[in-house]
A and B are shown apart, each in its own frame.
Chain A
Amino acid sequence: MKPYSDRGKFPERTENGNVIDLDSGKFVKLWQGPQHPGVTGNMSLEVIISGDEVVDLTTHVGYLHRAFEKLIERRLYIQSFPLVCRICVPEPDTNEYGYAAAVEELAGIQIPEKAAWLRTLTLEMSRLTSFLMWLGGQAGAFGLGTIPQWCLAHRDYMLDLFEELSGGRVYHMYIVPGGVRDDLPRGFARRLEDVLQKIEQVMSDIELALFSNAVFKRRAVGLGIITRDMIDEYGIVGPNARAAGIARDLRKDQPYLIYDKLSFEPVTADFSDAYTRTLVRYREMEQSIDLIRQIMAGIPEKGAIHVRPPNVLHWKIPAGETYVKAESTRGEYGYYLVSDGTAYPRRVHVRGPSYTHAVVLLEHLALNTNIADLPGLMVSLHTYPPEIER
């Protein structure tokens, strides 16, 4: 469905591709971002429009490059823990888990069972926190101002719980090599349940306010359609792929930690556009709430939460390489760790799902959309720049 059919002749399509001649007066080149409220995080889009239709888009990243992978090579294994969680700000625990699990695997450390439960708990809590922030952004990108207020206020309740658990609101550094840092505080289960009920309540409001909102429906349905053939070609993972009907969830396919003891099914839909992706993520929030309840019901009362690693200041890890991945809110998030037997890692590569979503996929999906829908499209892919440039 092309809304402006009379603009179909711009750009002229030839065998060698589209002819975009900026001097012809038919096109305008715009830069969206990095100083632009509609762009997720700090990145920029070089957009060429004809009328208000996007005919070409190039993503520019690198504004947040802190050279994490270089710095990790200069740090002891234990010194890198404060660094890795800063790669992804809304969801640091996936990074902590990925790095810790990779180090443990090469060092041959088995974590105690209770630590695995606690890690799963923090991973699910951070998924819920990240989704709450994202849902606010998605609604805000389509001009609904109330929902971000609800979402961010309720995200703060989760942050309070994180603060109680780990001492930090945003960066937790709770998952350490050998287990987790601390046990659950007394009365944590009750306070967590209170917060979950609050979130459930606001989510039922959001469902009414967002999914039956005429503006949201008109703008999000049909925006940025991902077909099934594109999934493997572009390397699409996570909710973006699940919305297209591909039930791929690392928690189910390659269960890590204690995900094989929890009962859940990957949320899927059959048609991946911005509206469905929002719906899938919304259902995954409900799933996370359910999983947190299952974890709190099954978590062992007693038990070790931490095995002591060798003296971390002299910690040499046997040579080897491994790749550990986890399902973050955006899909497969992985750590590739190469050790050469010294106290410093030889190489750590961080694989973030936005690497494909925000660059090649966005450049493809943005074509022929309306420029006003670009922020909504970006948010619906849940792109997050720091994991692209690290």
Chain B
Amino acid sequence: MEQINELKARYSISDSRDQRPDLGFITVDPGRLAALLAELQQVRGYTHLSFITAVDYPETGTFQLTYMVHNFESAHSLGVRTVISRDTALMESVHHLWKQAKTYQRELKEMYGIDFPGSPGVDDPFILEGWQGPPPMRRDFDTRAYSEKTYFPRPGRKTSDPRRHMQSRLYPDYTPFEEET
């Protein structure tokens, strides 16, 4: 982790946290991310890219991107996080550092609508075919409503909220006074 402290000032790392002794998370400015990853890969020994993924926060209008890199020498994983705007979802590509990064970026483009200009084949459909809706992994896309509208649900299927169902079975007389969120 002292390695990270050295990098802190140079890359304006805003937040660093140890989740476990072998797993840390840092947050960095989107503009400095590719440079930081290049240094981590080439100088600091974080040579392995485990995955790239996005977390959607529609309430703040942001995406959090997580790049998980791993150092085999010190057996330490580092999650490099960055926050980008949800409306102009653009991010610098890192396909030149790891070959598999382009696949992850292609998936993020399709599933979240985050663009990575310059990444090879980023506009090709990866998983979906002929998809016309919004990017489906965004949280404001309602998969249940889409499924019920599109796929002829078979009548007779009963769906109950597990909490209410168990409550009505275990305590039939109990009336909830407060709605759980």
A and B touch in the complex (CB under 8 A): yes
In the complex, the answer to whether B99 meets A74 with C-beta atoms within 8 Å is no
A254 to chain B, nearest CB (A): 5
Partner of A336, one of B66, B166, B180: B66
How far is B48's CA from A232's CA once the two chains are assembled, in angstroms?
6
In the complex, the answer to whether A76 meets B143 with C-beta atoms within 8 Å is no
Query: Is A320 among interface residues, defined by CB-CB distance under 8 A?
Result: yes
B143 contacts across to A, CB distance below 8 A: 67, 70-71, 74
Given A69-B137, A323-B50, A347-B56; A61-B126 close (CB under 8 Å): yes
Given A233-B98, A235-B100, A336-B66; A73-B47 close (CB under 8 Å): no
In the complex, the answer to whether A313 meets B50 with C-beta atoms within 8 Å is no
A363 to chain B, nearest CB (A): 9
B39 contacts across to A, CB distance below 8 A: none
In the complex, the answer to whether A355 meets B103 with C-beta atoms within 8 Å is yes
B143 to chain A, nearest CB (A): 5
Query: Is A181 among interface residues, defined by CB-CB distance under 8 A?
Result: no
Partner of B181, one of A61, A235, A253, A342: A342
How far is B128's CA from A178's CA once the two chains are assembled, in angstroms?
36
In the complex, the answer to whether B103 meets A70 with C-beta atoms within 8 Å is no
Which residues of A in the span 51-85 have a Cβ within 8 Å of any Cβ on B? Answer: 61-62, 65, 67, 69-71, 73-74, 76, 79
A355 contacts across to B, CB distance below 8 A: 51, 100, 103-104
Query: Is A31 among interface residues, defined by CB-CB distance under 8 A?
Result: no
Query: Is B153 among interface residues, defined by CB-CB distance under 8 A?
Result: no
Partner of B25, one of A321, A349, A359, A364: A321
Query: Is A322 among interface residues, defined by CB-CB distance under 8 A?
Result: yes
Query: Is B9 among interface residues, defined by CB-CB distance under 8 A?
Result: no
Which residues of A in the span 331-376 have a Cβ within 8 Å of any Cβ on B? Answer: 332, 334, 336, 338, 342-343, 346-347, 349, 351, 355-356, 359-361, 364
Partner of A248, one of B25, B72, B102, B181: B72
A356 to chain B, nearest CB (A): 4
B137 to chain A, nearest CB (A): 6
A338 to chain B, nearest CB (A): 5
Residue of A nearest to B139 (CB): A73
Given A62-B129, A349-B51, A355-B100; A323-B56 close (CB under 8 Å): no
In the complex, the answer to whether A233 meets B72 with C-beta atoms within 8 Å is no
In the complex, the answer to whether B162 meets A65 with C-beta atoms within 8 Å is no
A332 to chain B, nearest CB (A): 7
Residue of B nearest to A234 (CB): B99
B47 contacts across to A, CB distance below 8 A: 232
Query: What bracket does the count of chain B residues touching chain A fall in?
Result: 35 or more
Which residues of B in the span 108-151 have a Cβ within 8 Å of any Cβ on A? Answer: 125-129, 136-137, 139, 143-144
In the complex, the answer to whether A65 meets B181 with C-beta atoms within 8 Å is no
Bitwise interface map of B from 43 to 70 toward A, beta carbon under 8 Å scored 1, else 0:
0000111110101100000000010100
In the complex, the answer to whether B98 meets A235 with C-beta atoms within 8 Å is yes
Partner of B102, one of A69, A351, A360, A389: A360
Bitwise interface map of A from 6 to 38 toward B, beta carbon under 8 Å scored 1, else 0:
000000000000000000000000000000000
Q: Which of A79, A233, A321, A334 has the most CB of B within 10 A?
A: A321
How far is B181's CA from A343's CA once the two chains are assembled, in angstroms?
8
Query: Is B22 among interface residues, defined by CB-CB distance under 8 A?
Result: yes
How far is B143's CA from A314's CA once the two chains are assembled, in angstroms?
23
B22 contacts across to A, CB distance below 8 A: 254
In the complex, the answer to whether A76 meets B162 with C-beta atoms within 8 Å is yes
A105 contacts across to B, CB distance below 8 A: 19-20
In the complex, the answer to whether B162 meets A235 with C-beta atoms within 8 Å is no
In the complex, the answer to whether A62 meets B19 with C-beta atoms within 8 Å is no
In the complex, the answer to whether B126 meets A62 with C-beta atoms within 8 Å is yes
Partner of B23, one of A232, A233, A322: A322
Given A253-B75, A338-B55, A347-B53; A314-B163 close (CB under 8 Å): yes
How far is B98's CA from A61's CA once the two chains are assembled, in angstroms?
20
A321 contacts across to B, CB distance below 8 A: 19, 25, 66, 79
B116 to chain A, nearest CB (A): 15
B103 to chain A, nearest CB (A): 5
A310 to chain B, nearest CB (A): 13
In the complex, the answer to whether A253 meets B50 with C-beta atoms within 8 Å is no
A389 contacts across to B, CB distance below 8 A: 127
Query: Is B82 among interface residues, defined by CB-CB distance under 8 A?
Result: no
B48 contacts across to A, CB distance below 8 A: 232, 235, 237
How far is B169's CA from A313's CA once the two chains are assembled, in angstroms?
13
Given A253-B72, A253-B75; A70-B136 close (CB under 8 Å): yes
B151 to chain A, nearest CB (A): 13
Given A347-B55, A356-B103; A70-B137 close (CB under 8 Å): yes
B159 to chain A, nearest CB (A): 11
In the complex, the answer to whether A67 meets B136 with C-beta atoms within 8 Å is yes
Which residues of A in the span 206-260 have a Cβ within 8 Å of any Cβ on B? Answer: 232-235, 237, 248, 253-254
Nearest 7 Cβ contacts at the A-B interface: A62-B127, A349-B53, A232-B47, A356-B100, A351-B51, A347-B55, A313-B163
Known: A325-B50, A347-B55, A361-B99; 14 extra A-B contacts, CB below 8 A, are A62-B126, A62-B127, A62-B128, A70-B143, A235-B48, A235-B49, A235-B98, A254-B75, A314-B163, A322-B19, A322-B23, A325-B77, A346-B55, A351-B50
